[in-house]
Chains A and B, each alone.
Chain A
Amino acid sequence: MLKKYPTTRYILRSGGWYFLTFLVAISVNFVLPRLGKANPVDIIIAKHGAGKTQHAIQVKEEGYLKEFGLVKLDPDGAIVRDADGKPVRSSLWSQYVSYLGMCLRGDLGTSFMNYPKKVSEIVIEAVAWDFALQLPAIILGWLLGNILGALAAYKRGVFDYLFFPLSLLVCSIPFFAFGMLLKYQFGIVWPIFPTTGGYASNIHYSFSWEFFSNASYYYFLPFMSIFPVLLGGYAIGMRSMGIYELGTDYIRYASYLGIKENRIISYVFRNAMLPQLTGVALNLGNMIGGALIAEIIFSYPGLGTTILKAIQGQDYTLIQGTALLVAIMIIAANFTVDIVIAIFDPRVKAGMAGA
């Protein structure tokens, strides 16, 4: 079947595998937060219950249990109780079934901690910032890093002597240290750039030049805390791959044949880029919540801190919702790269066709 269309076949096949991966991911997503000892309703009650009467606490607790689907309900919507009058907890299995139903409907539920806010609302508000901060950093870092790395590999000489140790230095500095240094130097010692938030506290979201220019000004330091590290990493990878490819037989053969230099570079670039593509997929996949450190250092809006807080507060629904998004991102990024690699690397396609 589909033997004539190896590319389509390949895409469908890896798509199928990724769909399976997705199903496993959402199940793990459900199980993981529930493995811990803590329970979100207990936490809410403990935070707000001090000094209240036993009865008030019980009513409150049952209200939350019902709201979050953690107790069994009879057909009238009343809580099913055992002989002692205590509510019967719904089984993990029935919670799982309702969770799957909600996933399919695209309903991520209500957050426990941020009650009555919907998980989807929280995610949408934060995720734009994640994209805005990371996507340009990753893409620009990848492009520039690859170009500079390839140049260093091809030119060698003084450029490489300077460039290679420098990128090694930059990419081995941890994000947090680099961010802190930037903040200290350019935010506090020389107060050129603002250090907290995504935009000034004297303006509000609006579709105006004022807002965007301000947001860009606030964007600079967080961006710079991520960008050079990514750039350095990609450049080093590209440089080593480039040097390796330059030494291979086919390049030597090509140069003996007298093929033009530009042509040779394009061969080198194309072959050396394959591992780089996998690298960018991983980075793109980790984009959601991946800028946690930059978010904390610069008090920058984003999903990273939301996920952190959700885990600390055992907020099942919010953990599920955000982890779902992370899973989707990683799977989508990997899938895309699989396709792109198939286009760039005929060996993959050929291998699949032969299988």
Chain B
Amino acid sequence: MQGYHVEKRGCGIKKCLKSIIRYKGLIKYSKVIYNNYIIMIKTDRLLNKPESNKKGKKMKEIKRYSVLFTACLCLVFPGCTKKKGGAVDITSFPREKTMYLAGVQWGDPTTFNPLDQNPSFPVWFPSNLMYEHLVIHNTLTNKIDPLLARLHSQTDSVISFVLNPAARWSDNTPLTSIDVKFSYEIGKRYEDAPYGYIWDYIDSITVDTIAEGEGKAERVNFYIGKEEDNPLAILDVMIQTVIMPSHIMEAKIKECNNDFSKLLQDKMDKDPVVSGPYTLYVYSNEKVVCKRRDDYWGVAVLYQNRLPKPEFIIHPIYKSNEHASIALQKGELDFSSDYMPRIWMKAKAGVRTWYSSAPYFVPAVIPMITINCTRYPLNDKAFRRAMAFAINYKNVNELAFDGYSPDVKPGIILPFGIEKAYYAEEDVQRHGPAYNPEMAKKLLADAGYTSVLDKEGKLDYMINWKGERIPTLYIKVPTGWSDFEAMVKLVTKDLRAAGIDVREGACDESLYYQSQMVGDFDLFMDTPAGTLSPSLPWSRFQSIMSARNWRPVGERMTENFGRYNNPEEPGYNTTVDSLLRIIPALSDEAEKIQAYRALNVIFMQDQPTLPLVYRPEYFFEFSIKGWTNFPTEENPYAPPQSPCFGAGRNILWEITLKK
């Protein structure tokens, strides 16, 4: 709709200008354009002329007036005409050559330096539009798809990749093992480089040459460390580490005298040397524009000589989800990965999702309430389990999450998709807490907790078996995170109904973040292991239950924020940590299933967190007004991921322009 209006308006202005010229016999077009004084006077006269065709012209008139009204004002402020990033010849992008996507970049674009912790779209790590990864994790098939390299072999001690000999940088230098080694070893040279921690898991990287087809190809071997034998963590880093052009980066490092923080000051937004199918074209605080590279090396090798369809990819930067939602419904936006409420109401406007009916999306992660297991009474297993029994999960899903989640099962293994292999219904039936407020009350009573009611029969406070009053517990949630807040409200209601003295502890986002790692909370709304990766569900267990890097409250812990299973206390369960340590190295599927089942049972018995719903990592919403043939459940040629992430890039080659 919007695109249509813009076009029409454009014509209107041109016509208007032409008629001014005709009417006044003006020849100098440029004078009309640049001297707003002239425009004002002439057009005023023009507008005073009697109009014959009232309807239709009225609309144009409104627009013309608004344009005139403000054109002169805008001309006063040339400050907003700053151009950024390289030489640019086009400043407007035809709709039929452009794909609009949103939901990745929030706030002003800051840097396009791949060494930064948090670079802007499209350099941000899961994205492979500009800088590419060695391989792609296809979240649909759970396979490792080739990109710059293919997974050659994986043994207990080494993971090998064979580089594609055709891979080239945009300056036409070949992409070789030197670039790969550089990109990983930068983490050794500078400890604060992103993904530098891969060196906790690998010992060394070697390169050799093997015969590949008719020619030769380089093979890069990653030797798995003996101390932390964890191929899963290595694969996670593999699919996130982008390969950088070493010849460019080394020169920059030299320029900065080896000073890493100086290197980070380089935004790398001018003519970047990239290997991917798109490159940064131009950007502002309102949008990032990428342009297709017609000489992309993968066109011949990976995509049978086909170019990606959109010549430009534009990521408009909105100030809130609601704007993305309106734009998607108007057809101004083709794809979004933002949360949008009541998505079924938007189908009329051409908005579609992966599934055409509930749950609409493919869930991958679990928002949950982390429990601080060091605080009384939360250190009592019975108390935690009682909480898990008291929550009406169905209500939370339907009222706070628009029903986007399939039915939540106890434990933290998803009962569908890739993780389904490790899920055991019988364990869940036997050990799992399902919604049952009576059971919650019984557990509390058995453990000696009494809920004291006030005169009106509402919960006042709780006492323990000694008669001591238990302090009110607060669920920490950042103000303004509307979906989290809604969930916490419902949970609080349920818990209080079961006699547990819990309240919503909304706080500033900054305080929320700050309290997380140091354990300064009772209950904490969060999504541990919030990224879709090949290491799930192991990484979920690890980030909730691992005591590997135990730190006391007050110091930072990077996982297990609830400080479950303290290794220094008598009740320490060694099984948890040993299971977490061996699972990544297990290759036998049956053993793996056994191990995961055992872990999930321990989780259900100890309940270190309260999982609430299943949520997709990113939402997957597209409009069929501009482009069609997006992947769906019926047509699953690519996973439900943004076209700039992972195997979602295939969408760019398969979509077709709507006629």
Taking beta carbons and an 8 Å cutoff, which residues of A are in contact with B?
36-40, 42-57, 59-60, 63, 66-67, 113-117, 122, 124-129, 131-132, 136, 188, 191-217, 219-220, 223, 295-296, 299, 301, 305-306, 309, 312-314
Contact = CB atoms under 8 A, between A and B. Distances in A.
A60 B551 CA distance: 18
Contact of B286 (A194, A198, A312): A198
A311 to B, nearest CB: 9
Contacts of B509: 312-313
A38 B319 contact: no
Given A116-B267, A220-B70, A299 B558 contact: no
B10 interface: yes
Interface in B153-211: 191-192, 196-197, 200
Contacts of B117: 44, 48, 60
B3 interface: yes
Contacts of B264: 115-116
B77 A131 contact: yes
A222 to B, nearest CB: 10
Nearest to B10: A210
B508 A60 contact: no
A196 B558 contact: no
Given A39-B514, A128-B77, 5 more contacts: A125-B82, A127-B79, A202-B314, A212-B71, A215-B80
Contact of A59 (B191, B265, B511): B191
A122 B10 CA distance: 31
Nearest to B557: A54
A200 B6 contact: yes
Interface residues of B, number: 88
Nearest to B262: A116
Nearest to A209: B33
Nearest to A296: B319
15 contacts: A46-B514, A47-B513, A51-B559, A59-B191, A60-B192, A114-B110, A125-B285, A132-B73, A196-B318, A196-B323, A196-B327, A196-B332, A204-B83, A210-B91, A213-B13
A301 B10 CA distance: 22
Interface string B545-581: 0000101000010110000000000000000000000
A56 to B, nearest CB: 5
B261 A212 contact: no
Interface stretch (B60-68, B137-145, B423-431, B611-619): B60-68
Given A59-B192, A212-B71, A206 B91 contact: yes
B110 A116 contact: yes
Given A43-B514, A191-B1, A204 B74 contact: no
Contacts of B1: 191
B121 to A, nearest CB: 14
Interface string B85-108: 000100111110010100000011
B558 A312 contact: no
Contacts of B376: none
Nearest to B30: A209
Given A49-B556, A116-B267, A117-B111, A128 B320 contact: no
Interface in B308-338: 314, 316, 318-320, 323, 326-327, 330, 332
A170 B540 CA distance: 54
Contact of A205 (B10, B83, B197, B316): B83
Contacts of B326: 188, 195-196
B513 A46 contact: yes
Binding site of A, secondary structure by majority: helix, strand, loop or mixed? helix
Sorted from nearest, which 5 A-B pairs have the closest CB atoms? A128-B79, A216-B70, A46-B513, A38-B510, A206-B91
A203 B323 contact: no
B59 interface: yes
A49 B287 contact: no
Contacts of B80: 128-129, 132, 198, 205, 215
A296 B320 contact: yes
Contact of B69 (A46, A194, A220, A295): A220
A301 B286 contact: yes
A214 to B, nearest CB: 7
Contacts of B549: 53-54
Contacts of B59: 192
Nearest to A53: B197
Contacts of B93: 202-204
Contact of A122 (B82, B108, B261): B108
A303 B514 CA distance: 26
A141 B257 CA distance: 56
B556 A57 contact: yes
B284 interface: yes
B286 A216 contact: no
Interface in B101-126: 107-108, 110-111, 113, 116-118
Contacts of B113: 116
Contacts of B267: 116
Nearest to A110: B265
Interface in B268-288: 282, 284-287
B414 interface: no
B296 to A, nearest CB: 23
Contacts of A51: 539, 543, 558-559
B196 A56 contact: yes
B619 to A, nearest CB: 19
A199 B93 CA distance: 13
B467 interface: no
Nearest to A295: B319
A88 to B, nearest CB: 18
Nearest to B39: A209
Nearest to B559: A51
A346 B461 CA distance: 69
B190 to A, nearest CB: 9
Nearest to A204: B91
Interface string B1-35: 11101100110010000000000000000000100
B71 A216 contact: yes
A203 B81 contact: no
A201 B287 contact: yes
Contacts of A49: 517, 556, 558
Contacts of A201: 100, 286-287, 314, 316, 327, 332
B71 A192 contact: no
Interface string B284-297: 11110100000000
Nearest to B316: A201
B213 interface: no
A127 B77 CA distance: 10
B558 A54 contact: yes
B316 A197 contact: yes
A125 B84 CA distance: 11
Contact of B320 (A66, A192, A299): A299
A37 B73 CA distance: 43
A217 B74 contact: no
Nearest to A125: B285
Interface in B615-634: none
Given A116-B111, A195-B326, A214 B6 contact: yes
Nearest to A202: B93
B78 interface: yes
A237 B77 CA distance: 30
B95 to A, nearest CB: 6
Contacts of B10: 210
A53 to B, nearest CB: 5
Given A54-B556, A214-B6, A197 B286 contact: yes
B399 interface: no
Nearest to A224: B66
B516 interface: yes
Contacts of B513: 42-43, 46-47
Interface in B522-555: 528, 539, 543, 549, 551
A196 B95 CA distance: 17
B75 interface: yes
Contacts of A126: 285
Contact of B514 (A42, A54, A209, A223): A42
A313 B320 CA distance: 17
